[in-house]
Amino acid sequence: MNEHLKDMVLALEIEKSKINREKSILLIDKGLLLYFAFLFTAVLGFLNGYVTVNILNLLVIMSFGVLAVAITPYLITMHKEEQRLNTFIRSLRGGKNAKM
């Protein structure tokens, strides 16, 4: 019975990790969409004369800001998940410093 419980906990940990990864990927997808929307709008507006050079530069800088805001949570989540999984693997192997 104890082995079955360990298997269930492992399966739940894997599912939780997948859910966190999927949430982060969704955020990156939305960020990339906004990034390209900013660039597309900026370039089209500049080529058609609706946007000045200063506004074009501002839109490009804002697009990089959106990209940074979208990527940062993904990197943080992946780092935390990697640490959690490493700790979990060490605990299963019976190594030192094994906390969950």
- Return the domain boundaries, the chain: 35-90
Q: What is the pLDDT of residues 22-71, one digit of tens each?
A: 998 999 999 999 999 989 999 999 999 998 999 999 989 999 999 999 99
CB contact at 8 A, 56 and 46: yes
Would you say the pTM of this structure is higher than 0.85?
no
CB contact at 8 A, 73 and 23: no
Q: What is the pLDDT of residues 13-28, one digit of tens each?
A: 888 888 988 998 999 9
